[in-house]
Amino acid sequence: MSNTCALLVRILTFLLLLYALALSFMTLGSCHFLAALTPTDESHGVGLTSFELESGECLPHSTFIKRNYNGMEMVAKVGGFVAPSLGALVIIFTLLECCRGNEWFCGGKCLPVLLLLGSIVCQGLTFFLFQSDLFCSKSETIDACLMGEAAYRSVQATICYFVCFILYLCGGTPRPLGNPMSMMKPQPQQLQQPHGGGNNANNTTNSDKLKKKKTT
C-alpha cells in the first residue's frame, strides 16, 4: 500500500473517531437512553447519569437512586465513561504517529488497536442499563422499556469504533511527517577539500625544484 493511501485511510480513521467520541459524550449527557413506559402510556426518560422529571427537566441520579443500583447501572455508567477515554488515547497516539512514526512506543499499532477494541466493548456495556431493576423492571409503575435517542447514538458510536478498529488494523502505516520546524532551520554547509589535494600540491613544488637544479 502506498504512503498516500495509508495517509488517507489514517485521516478517515481520525475523523471517524472524532465523530464516535462526540456520539459517546452525547450519550453520557442525555437523559433519554431508555424510555420507561407506564401502564397509562406515559414515558419517562432515563440516562446513564441522569433521569427525566415529569416536567421534562433532566436531573443527575440522586444519592437514593445510586444506593439502589443493582450493579447493571454502574456497569453501564462506567462503560459510558471509559469508551470515549480510550478513544481519546487513540487520537493522541495517532497525532504522535504522524510526527514521530509508530516506532517510538512498543508494539507499533498493536496498542491503539487494543484501545479501540476496548472502546467497542465499553460502549456496548452501556446497554446493560436495560437490565436495571430500578429503571426497567416490569412493575406497577413500569410496563415496558424502549430505546431512546441516546441509545441509538450509542449504537452509532459502537459501529464507528468498530469501523475505526478495522481501518487501523488493516490499513497501512503512513510515513511520519516529521517536525516542520526542523525543516525551516538552515543547514550548515561544510567545505570539503578534495582527497589528496595537499599531496598533489607538494608533488608539483618538488618537481619544479628538480627541474631548476637540472637546468643549473
What pLDDT score does 179 carry?
Answer: 47
Average pLDDT, the chain: 80
Average pLDDT of the segment spanning 110-134: 91
Cα separation, 105 vs 173, in Å, equals: 14
Cα separation, 139 vs 136, in Å, equals: 9
Q: Which residue has the higher pLDDT, 131 or 187?
A: 131
Q: In what order do the strands lie in the sheet with 43-46?
A: 58-60, 50-52, 43-46, 34-37, 144-147
Hey, what's the cell of 16? 471517524
Contacts of 36 (CB under 8 A, 6+ apart): 43, 44, 45, 46, 135, 136, 142, 144, 145
Answer for the pair 119, 161: CB distance below 8 angstroms, yes or no.
Answer: yes
What is the sign, positive or negative, of the torsion defined by CA atoms of 22, 27, 32, 33?
Answer: positive
What single-letter amino acid sits at 168? Y
Hey, what's the cell of 137? 423492571
Phi, psi values for residue 65, rounded to 5°: -65, -40
Average pLDDT of the segment spanning 200-211: 56
What is the sign, positive or negative, of the torsion defined by CA atoms of 174, 175, 176, 181?
Answer: negative
Answer for the pair 76, 129: CB distance below 8 angstroms, yes or no.
Answer: yes
pLDDT 10s digits, 44-87: 888 898 888 877 788 888 887 788 788 888 899 999 999 999 99
10 Å CB burial of residue 199 (0-12, 13-18, 19+) is: exposed
- At residue 110, does pLDDT exceed 80? yes
What pLDDT score does 56 carry?
Answer: 76
Answer for the pair 69, 55: CB distance below 8 angstroms, yes or no.
Answer: no
pLDDT 10s digits, 2-46: 878 888 888 899 999 999 999 999 999 888 898 888 777 777 888
Taking the model in full, what pTM does it have?
Answer: 0.75
Phi, psi values for residue 46, rounded to 5°: -135, 135
Element of type H or E holding 27: helix 3-29
pLDDT 10s digits, 161-194: 999 999 998 887 777 765 444 444 454 555 455 5
